[in-house]
């Protein structure tokens, strides 16, 4: 395991390739999500830097997050082109799990597929910019919701495989969106809703479709969950009224006063930036 260095002193400066920001639940529910920016082996605590200047400068280098080789362009959030074409985690069936082709014998990495796709998945409702449906591995709760900037989330169904979760999600998409309006999410004007009532409404509307899926995959393949909704708060002092997006490819230097963190976005007084989009980019942080 690589060495992790905490950068927590005034006047700090670190350099390394970006990874997805680490987000963790706080000790109390009324406290905000705890964020760390990850640059190589360095972890920069962000919550305590709200209200302070932050500078991120791209050096021009990009390293593949899988094999480590230098690449001029990042594919699928941090991969070089050979890895993008070779790895199962970069295949289109990851984004569209209902198209899984494992049983056709064409999975790029069958062993990887068995470890990641043939394990329990959760179908959930979340409120990031309004009601949406989504899927995630059971082990990825609540990380998936925090990465989306959800203020509420409710697991509703558990299934045995990723492909089955895709079939269920397709059914729910007939009634509810499956995407987040990231601009609305960042403006912070999302109203809370009764996710349990929405769950009951959707389960009633989609009862026939769920019955058909159970007949196809087995009565126990799609299991109803009885869990309370979770609520999340984010470390944001000022939400932007107008969302202006930074892009390292167009502007290597991004700086401003850090006003908040939500989802995988840094909110600066100069604009916002989705750090996950730039996974593998070598960044100087100060």
Query: How does pLDDT run across 68-99, given as a tens digit for each residue?
Result: 999 999 999 999 999 999 999 999 999 999 99
Say yes or no: 124 and 219 in one domain: yes
d(CA 279, CA 40): 11
Say yes or no: 208 and 254 in one domain: no
pLDDT tops 90 at residue 272: yes
pLDDT tops 60 at residue 131: yes
Mean pLDDT, range 129-135, rounded to an integer: 97
- C-alpha angle with apex 95: 94 to 97, nearest 5 degrees? 60
* pLDDT tier, 125 (very low <50, low <70, confident <90, very high otherwise): very high
Say yes or no: 247 and 219 in one domain: no
Residue 250 pLDDT: 96
Mean pLDDT, range 30-41, rounded to an integer: 96
Q: Which residues are CB-contacts of 154 (< 8 A; sequence separation ≥ 6)?
A: 124, 125, 126, 195, 196, 199, 227, 228, 229, 230
Range of the domain at 176: 119-231
Residue 8 pLDDT: 47
pLDDT digits (tens, 9 = 90+) for 185-229: 999 989 999 999 999 999 999 999 999 999 999 989 999 999 999
Mean pLDDT of the chain: 94
Query: What DSSP string runs through the chain?
Result: ----EEE-STT--EEEEEEEEEEE--SSTTSPPEEEEEETTEEEE-GGGTTSEEEEEEEEEEB-TTT--B-SS-BTTTB-HHHHHH-GGGSHHHHSGGG--GGGT--S-HHHHHHHTSS-EEEEEEESSSEEEEEEEGGGTTHHHHHTT-SEEEEEEEESSHHHHHHHHHHHTTTSB-S--HHHHHHT-PPP--HHHHHHHHHHHTHHHHHHHHHHH-TTSEEE---PPEE----BS---SS--B--TTT-SEEEEEEEEEETTEEEETTEEEEGGGGTTEEEEE-
How does 143-167 read in b/e, with b if 16+ C-beta sit within 10 Å?
Answer: bbbbbbbbbbbbbbbbbbbbbbbbb
d(CA 116, CA 137): 8
Say yes or no: 208 and 255 in one domain: no
Distances from the Cα of 284 to the Cαs of 5, 268, 278, in angstroms?
A: 15, 17, 13
pLDDT tops 50 at residue 161: yes
Q: Which residues are CB-contacts of 247 (< 8 A; sequence separation ≥ 6)?
A: 273
pLDDT digits (tens, 9 = 90+) for 234-252: 999 999 999 999 999 999 9
pLDDT tops 60 at residue 9: no
From 132, 264, 107, select the one nearest 190 (Cα to Cα).
132
Q: How many domains does the chain have?
A: 3
Say yes or no: 105 and 177 in one domain: no
pLDDT tops 90 at residue 7: no
Q: Which of 191, 213, 231 is the last residue of a domain?
A: 231
pTM: 0.93
Say yes or no: 134 and 51 in one domain: no
Say yes or no: 157 and 223 in one domain: yes
* pLDDT tier, 12 (very low <50, low <70, confident <90, very high otherwise): confident
Say yes or no: 114 and 169 in one domain: no
Mean pLDDT, range 38-47, rounded to an integer: 97
From 189, 191, 111, 197, select the one nearest 154 (Cα to Cα).
197
pLDDT digits (tens, 9 = 90+) for 24-33: 999 888 899 9
Say yes or no: 99 and 153 in one domain: no
pLDDT tops 90 at residue 166: yes
């Amino acid at each position: 395991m690589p060495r992790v260095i905490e950068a927590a002193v005034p006047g700090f400066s670190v350099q390394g390739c970006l990874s997805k920001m680490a987000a963790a639940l706080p000790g109390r529910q009324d406290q905000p999500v705890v964020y760390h920016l990850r640059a190589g082996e360095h972890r920069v605590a962000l919550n305590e830097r709200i209200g302070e200047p932050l500078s991120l400068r791209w050096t021009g280098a990009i390293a593949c997050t899988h094999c480590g080789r230098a690449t001029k362009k990042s594919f699928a959030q941090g991969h070089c082109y050979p890895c993008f074409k070779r790895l199962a985690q970069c295949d289109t069936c990851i984004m569209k799990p209902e198209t899984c082709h494992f049983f056709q014998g064409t999975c790029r990495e069958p062993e990887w597929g068995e470890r990641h796709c043939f394990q329990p998945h959760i179908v959930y409702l979340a409120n990031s910019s309004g009601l949406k449906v989504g899927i995630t591995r059971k082990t990825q709760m609540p990380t998936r919701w925090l990465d989306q900037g959800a203020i509420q989330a409710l697991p509703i169904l558990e299934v045995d495989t990723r492909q089955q979760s895709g079939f269920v999600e397709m059914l729910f998409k007939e009634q509810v969106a499956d995407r987040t309006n990231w601009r609305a999410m960042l403006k912070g004007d999302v109203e809370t809703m009764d996710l349990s009532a929405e769950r009951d409404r959707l389960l009633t509307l989609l009862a026939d479709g769920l019955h058909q899926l159970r007949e196809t995959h087995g009565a126990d393949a799609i299991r109803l969950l009885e869990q309370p909704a979770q609520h999340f708060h984010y470390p944001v002092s000022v939400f932007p009224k107008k969302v202006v997006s930074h892009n390292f490819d167009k502007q290597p230097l991004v700086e401003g006063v850090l006003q908040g963190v939500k989802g995988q976005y840094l909110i600066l007084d100069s604009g916002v930036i989705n750090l996950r989009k730039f996974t593998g980019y070598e960044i100087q942080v100060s």
